[in-house]
Amino acid sequence: MAIIEMNNLWKEYGDQVVLERLDAEVQEGEFVTLVGASGCGKTTFLKMLLGTESPSRGELLLDGAPIPDQPDETRGIVFQRYSVLPHLSALENVMLADELHRHKLIGRAFGGKRKALKDAAMAMLESVGLAQAADKYPHQLSGGMQQRLAIAQALMKRPRILLLDEPFGALDPGIRRDMHHLVLDLWRQQGLTIFMVTHDLAEGFYLGTRLWVFDKTRLDPQAPGAYGARITYDLPVGDCDKGTLTAIQAQADATARTMA
């Protein structure tokens, strides 16, 4: 069975239609990248997966049941910024998920239990290359290290679905490439299903197993909000030529100009 299923999914705010008539299925283990012009509903769609926004019409199913309407541990998230907690050291950030699980009332572990949690967290930090920075606070880490930490923190909960909202948008190109390797490694090792929003079409092509382009098929220049975006391309990545890439880019640019 598909892990995520959409049936005639709409999202509207008043008379502004953001997304309309989305129909798709995603199988466990897929890596879906979401691209498109700004304002075409990529982030709104991610928020519906996260549970902070609800569908206006239609169905969004997780394992065949309506997706929970608030965030929970089935779906991990990494934002572009503010993902890690600034008042905790790197190690404490990674330990947090287990601590919350162990002690519902105080959300902290002590003694021998703490030692076990610490070892697990250290192993995770090591796998994202942050073992040296375990005792540092986030503000002492570079942007790339903070995002590694955010991924490590999210993965400690072993979510089945990982949502990435432009996680590398603020990083330098060299760092981005390192992060790509890291994400691909973790995805393969842990059998995750990943949804990643990106502005960078090339990144979308490189990383995903499947690329979704969000775009408006009907566009009224007088009322950009009258029609919603749809998934205009649903490509298995690797199965496309340079012409497709150029065509998608041109179409996205045209939409962006009209909406600006």
Partner 1 sequence: MKKLINRHPGPVATWALGLLPFALLLVVYLLASDARLEANPNDKLLPSFSAMGDAIQRMAFEPSKRSGEYLLWADTLASLTRLAIGVGISALMGLIFGIVTGTLPYARAGLSPLITGLSLVPPMAILPILFILFGLGELAKVMLIIIGITPFLIRDLQQRAREIPAEQVIKMQTLGANTWQIILRLVWPQIMPRLISAVRLSLGSAWLFLIAAEAIAATEGLGYRIFLVRRYLSMDVILPYVLWITLLAFAIDFLLARYSRWRYPWFHGSH
CB of 101 to partner 1, least distance (A): 6
> Minimum distance between the CB of residue 156 and partner 1, rounded to whole angstroms?
8
DSSP collapsed to 3 states, the chain: CCCEEEEEEEEEECCEEEEEEEEEEECCCCEEEEEECCCCCHHHHHHHHHCCCCCCEEEEEECCEECCCCCCCCEEEECCCCCCCCCCCHHHHHHHHHHHHHCCCCCCCCHHHHHHHHHHHHHHHHHCCCHHHCCCCHHHCCHHHHHHHHHHHHHCCCCCEEEEECCCCCCCHHHHHHHHHHHHHHHHHHCCEEEEECCCHHHHHHHCCEEEEEEECCCCCCCCCCCCEEEEEEEECCCCCHHHHHHHHHHHHHHHHHHC
The three-point CA angle 82-105-116 to 5° equals 75
State yes or no: residue 75 binds partner 1 (CB under 8 A).
yes
User: Shortest gap between Cβ of 23 and partner 1 (angstroms)?
Assistant: 27
C-alpha–C-alpha distance, residues 136 and 89, integer Å:
5
151 is a site residue for partner 1 (CB under 8 A) = no
Residue 144 contacts partner 1 per CB under 8 A: no
192 binds partner 1 (CB under 8 A): no
Instruction: Name residues contacting partner 1, limited to 157-186 (CB under 8 A).
Output: 157, 159
Asked if 154 interacts with partner 1 (CB under 8 A), we say yes
CB of 87 to partner 1, least distance (A): 5
Evaluate the CA torsion angle 146, 148, 150, 153 in order and state its sign. Answer: negative
135 binds partner 1 (CB under 8 A): no
Closer residue to partner 1, CB minimum distance, 84 or 211 = 84
Site for partner 1 in 78-97 (CB under 8 A): 79, 81-87, 96-97
142 sits near partner 1 (criterion: CB under 8 A): no
Q: Under the criterion CB under 8 A, does residue 147 sit at the interface with partner 1? A: no
Q: Would you count residue 140 as binding partner 1 (CB under 8 A)?
A: yes
With contacts defined by CB under 8 A, name the span among 12-20, 101-109, 178-186, 196-204 that binds partner 1: 101-109
Q: Compare residues 57 and 158 and give the one whose CB is closer to partner 1.
A: 158
Minimum CB separation from partner 1 for residue 170, in Å? 14
Residues forming the site for partner 1 (CB under 8 A): 50, 52, 70-73, 75-77, 79, 81-87, 96-97, 99-101, 104-108, 137-140, 153-154, 156-157, 159
